[in-house]
Structure 1
Amino acid sequence: MEFVCIETKTFEDMCIALELLKKKVETLSQRHLPKRLDKWLDNQEVCAILRISPRTLQSLRSTGALSYTQIDRRIYYQEKDVMKLVGITGYRHKSRKELEK
């Protein structure tokens, strides 16, 4: 292993430069936080949230009631769109247990 000796002043200057770089990186990352992507849900998660069958979910896609994105053969939905569908239309099927009550 090789050791390198540097002057104290040089070491302190390097520490200051690293601290400034750290602050710049933190500032830039904070600036871009709101631009992060929303959470995406797959078919199974949406069916569980809405309490519907995959076929009903397909009907919602076909009619345009629920927007989606397809990557290869997988279909994804933005969480905000699913929650909007629940909130605005109250579209949440009741389970059999709830219907029996």
Structure 2
Amino acid sequence: MLRVDDEIFEANISALAKLIKRVEEKIDKLIVSSNTVMDERLLDNQDLCLFLKVTPRTLQRYRNMGLLPFKTICRRNYYRESDVKEFIEKYFGGKDNLTDKDKWGRKNKRRDDDEESVLV
């Protein structure tokens, strides 16, 4: 059986405790940094869905069509804030450019108007 001197054992445990504390501090810094990489904020799917008021499937369609650049990190998709701003300016940037949601709303509004005129 291997015997370890008490002083050596205590020194190793102390060094291990210091290492664990350093790792915890680094993790805390990463959590506090609010998903930033190279001074640029990263948004995940949930953040972007809430911001754009779209479903996850719509985001997937934007990714598949190549409209919205993304990075996959640990099986999660992240979007750079600058890419999201460019995407918004290009595809949601003005009243001249109608989104699918706007077109759908207009189409259904016309149907609702027709139904109301029939009921009156």
Aligned partner (choices 42, 46, 51) of residue 44 of structure 1? 46
Q: Cα distance, 1:80 vs. partner?
A: 1.0
Corresponding letter in the other structure for 2:52: L
SS in 1 for 2:40: coil
**Matches for 1:1-101 after TM superposition, within 5 Å:** 36-90=38-92
Q: Deviation string for 1:12-65 (max 9, x for gaps)?
A: xxxxxxxxxxxxxxxxxxxxxxxx331100000111111110000000011100
| Higher RCO, Cα 8 Å, sep 6+ | 1
**CA distance in structure 2 between the partners assigned to 1:56 and 1:48 by the alignment:** 12
Q: What stretches of structure 1 of length at least 5 have no aligned partner?
A: 1-35
Corresponding letter in the other structure for 1:66: L
**CA distance in structure 2 between the partners assigned to 1:48 and 1:87 by the alignment:** 17
Q: Cα distance, 1:86 vs. partner?
A: 1.1
SS in 2 for 1:52: coil
SS in 2 for 1:67: coil
Corresponding letter in the other structure for 1:39: R
The TM-score normalised by the length of structure 2 is 0.45
Corresponding letter in the other structure for 2:87: L
Task: Name the structure 1 match of 2:26.
Answer: none
**CA distance in structure 2 between the partners assigned to 1:65 and 1:38 by the alignment:** 20
The TM-score normalised by the length of structure 1 is 0.53
Paired residue total = 62
